[in-house]
Amino acid sequence: MSRLWMRAQLHHCWPALVSEFAKPRMQHLCDFLDKERANWNVYPSQKNVFKAFRETPFDLVKVVILGQDPYPNLDHAMGLAFSVPRGVGPLPRSLRNIHRELDRNPALARDPDIARRKSGNLTWWAKQGVLLLNRALTVGADGRSHFEYWKEFTDRQSNSSTSDPSLSCSCSGGTTR
């Protein structure tokens, strides 16, 4: 994975990120991910590593929800915190907890699109301005977190988006590090 490829994934939707890829730590991250992918399964797939940023361009962010790591298996990891592809079941516990809280909201109980909401795929949230960002954008298939490699990058992005005074809400789930 090259810094050029990473930058190309984000330059349209998060132009402020482009300068991040010139930093030496990003080359270190790319080298680490290349080595990991050569020897192990890494999730999500390379094309979905930056999905949270592609689906929620910076100028549309209204809410930031921070997760911890992607789900450590191929069927679940899709690049959006807490989200799983349509058809996955049973849903991960963290996502079931989110649904339980949503079900307590009487306005949402009348949502005509309740089936889409129950699917586990939260892409529709992302397209409405909910940045579903994991603190680590990749994880090993054995559950080994890549947090230490992503920390500075994701901290910078979550801080830049949550410092915007027009942001409605920011919250995090999972265990803090």
Runs of H (alpha helix) within the chain: 3-10, 24-39, 51-55, 93-103, 106-109, 114-118, 123-127, 147-162
Integer angstrom CA distances of residue 18 from 21, 143, 157? 6, 29, 12
CB atoms within 10 A of CB 78: 25
Highest mean pLDDT among 61-65, 97-101, 106-110, 115-119 belongs to 61-65
pLDDT at position 153 is: 87
Residue 14 in this model has a pLDDT that exceeds 70: yes
pLDDT at position 130 is: 93
- pTM summary value: 0.84
Q: Which one is catalytic: 31, 34, 59, 69?
A: 69
User: pLDDT (tens digit, 9 = 90+) per residue, 111-150?
Assistant: 666 655 678 999 999 999 999 999 999 999 999 999 999 9
pLDDT at position 146 is: 95
69 is catalytic: yes
Residue 176 in this model has a pLDDT that exceeds 50: no
pLDDT at position 66 is: 92
pLDDT at position 48 is: 92
CA torsion 162→1→54→69, rounded to 10°?
-50
Integer angstrom CA distances of residue 73 from 23, 29, 56, 141, 149? 30, 21, 23, 6, 19
Mean of per-residue pLDDT scores for the chain: 82
Mean pLDDT of 22-38: 89
Confidence class for position 89, pLDDT limits 50, 70, 90: confident
Q: What angle do CA 102, 105, 107 make, to 5 degrees?
A: 115
The larger pLDDT score, comparing residue 175 to residue 87, is at 87
